[in-house]
A = this chain, B = another copy of it.
Amino acid sequence: MNAPRITRELVLDTAMRIVENDGVAALSMRRLAADLDVAVTAIYWHVGNRETLVGQLVDRVVGRFGDIAPEGAGPRERVIAVGAALRRRVHAHPHLIALVYEHGRTALMMLPAERALAREVTAAGLAPAHAALVVRAVLHHVVGFALLERAVQRSPAQHPSAAELWGDGAEIGVSPAVAAELARPADPDDLFDRSLRALVAGLLGGPA
């Protein structure tokens, strides 16, 4: 009855460290075994195969997401605060988000934000069907935005460049001033804030 060399927790901790340091692709059973200093097959006894291992990793990360408690005065500001908090959460775990996406656990990841939004629309007294629309539209907008940001971030160098892509805009029916604006890179934080505000304004009524 010697003590086990490794435990399920130790395997998950080590796997998490590999993913956070070197990305998902670096998480192989052999690399994991090497880092744990055991034979590859020992891992299978504790966590099953790679698929279930990654599943446990995902569940651990999203399980650690606590409630979101928005600040702000009035439904609009508070709904926007929930959206911003959710985006910060996604950004805090860039590698693991890829795993969440791959494993279709996005619904689970969104749950705390979904509950927080549901509380806000309840407090605002919205009609149930409309309330559900607001919750879902904001969730989709925020998480979709964050997913897309990650994709654009690791975009290879653009060929042709944005500038020559738009030219002066004239030949494709776009005003030169608009073409010039679109040729410049966008500030993602600003874009997120303004588009979320527009969405919430459109959902809850009132001026943007």
Contacts and interface: CB of A to CB of B under 8 A. Distances in A.
A148 B152 contact: no
Contacts of A158: 107-108
Interface string A100-121: 0101111110010011001101
A136 B185 CA distance: 11
Interface string A120-154: 01110010110111011100110111111001111
B199 A132 contact: no
A179 interface: yes
B182 A104 contact: no
B144 A178 contact: no
Nearest to A182: B132
A41 interface: no
Interface stretch (A5-13, A15-23, A27-35, A169-177): A169-177
Looking at chain A's contact residues, the main secondary structure is helix
Report the contact-size class of chain A (Cβ under 8 Å from the partner).
Answer: 35 or more
Contact of A155 (B105, B132, B172, B198): B105
A148 B195 contact: no
Given A132-B182, A137-B195, A195-B133, A169 B118 contact: yes
Contact of A129 (B137, B181, B200, B205): B181
Contacts of A26: none
B148 A144 contact: yes
Interface in A47-75: none
A208 B205 CA distance: 7
Contact of A198 (B107, B177, B202): B202
A4 interface: no
A178 B132 contact: yes
